[in-house]
A = this chain, B = another copy of it.
Amino acid sequence: MYKYSFQNDYSEEEHPRILDALMASNLDQELGYGEDRFCLEAADRILQAAGNPEADVHFVSGGTQANLTMLGSFLRPFESVIAVESGHISVHEAGSIEQTGHKINIVSGQDGKVTAPEIESMAASHGDEHMVKPRVVFISHSSEVGTIYSAREFKEISETCKRLNLYLYLDGARLGSALASSKADIDLPGICRLVDAFYIGGTKNGALLGEALVINNPALKTDFRYSIKQRGALLSKGRLLGIQFNELFRDNLFFELARNANLMAEKLTDGIRGLGYTFFTDSPTNQIFPILPDNVIEKMSRIYRFYVWKKVTAEKSAVRLVTSWATNSAAVVDFLNDLGEITNK
């Protein structure tokens, strides 16, 4: 009934090459719990792509699971995480970080991103045992509003963290789109040098499910598999994740898929801007946030699936349009045509 869904980047299953790889190995007997040859091979490919052969790689099913397993492992009970107000862990993970026992210290951020001065100031305001002890800075690249950190911002934040004895952790649910952005001025090895741990999102970039966890800081590696198991995140058929990441990181498939998502988002952006609309954030990735009149939104939402993000004025709201590895030009053209028509009526 809907022409197309721009609601998210997980509306389809998986890229055909991944499905092929699953089929090819279907009846092979492999070791369980991520100790199979595919997981080993995938980890190698990821370490090569990330430029840190000394890092540890683990695979889990989803983003909330990745965040709670890593942060729950890295922190002592009274230590906290600094995150931006709109951060995924701040809002959309049902209090999973708090359920592992840790407070999130919220900062306002700028364009959906944590800033170095905010980290500085949050740390400065926590000085004794009556308050939590900030220990991790949580950033998302790209952010919840589609923005990305520049190389300079990464460097400032990383230096601030080092100086203040804070770990820097990156949620990479949409890392592919961020890295493949035409505005990106820092690559995966560059990021990998600056953060203590991060994860690479597969679910939102062509995999059926799966996130690859990369731990750079040796202090955070110890006994991490215990945490994976204890949080219910250790899959019996772990190969399922290995096979997918092995394929994603072969021949740059991961980056190609992200580029398609970004390209489709750019086309949407250009088209919508061409109709005279402005945007809630200046997003160079696969989530864009045009501001539309509420009556236009109402009509478009009968034809396309997407989220209404935020009321902006009495008569206008920002909507969120998400493209993916699977989005094709035809869907974009349709959307723009329909928007044009409804706009000009």
Contact = CB atoms under 8 A, between A and B. Distances in A.
A235 B223 contact: no
B77 A72 contact: yes
Given A8-B32, A26-B14, A95 B61 contact: no
Contact of A73 (B23, B77, B237): B77
B8 A19 contact: no
Interface residues of A, number: 78
Contacts of A78: 94-95, 99, 223, 226-227, 229-230
A76 interface: yes
Interface string A185-214: 000000000000000000110001100000
A100 B305 CA distance: 37
Contacts of A209: 235-237, 240
A112 B12 CA distance: 43
B236 A62 contact: yes
A323 interface: no
A318 to B, nearest CB: 16
A160 interface: no
A94 B230 contact: yes
Contacts of A69: 232
Interface string A292-311: 00000000000001000000
Contact of A61 (B11, B61, B204): B61
A132 B30 CA distance: 25
A231 B129 contact: no
A29 B16 contact: no
A110 B176 CA distance: 43
Most buried by B among A62, A68, A208, A229: A229
A283 interface: no
Main SS of chain A's interface residues?
loop
Contacts of A227: 77-78
Interface in A42-78: 61-69, 72-73, 76-78
B5 A29 contact: yes
B226 A133 contact: yes
Interface string A24-42: 0111111110000000000
30 contacts: A5-B29, A7-B32, A11-B29, A11-B32, A12-B28, A14-B26, A19-B22, A19-B23, A27-B326, A29-B305, A61-B61, A61-B232, A63-B236, A67-B232, A78-B227, A80-B95, A92-B131, A93-B230, A93-B232, A94-B129, A95-B101, A95-B103, A95-B132, A96-B230, A96-B231, A98-B103, A99-B102, A101-B101, A103-B104, A204-B236
Given A91-B131, A129-B228, 8 more contacts: A12-B26, A62-B236, A78-B223, A78-B230, A95-B131, A95-B230, A208-B240, A232-B233
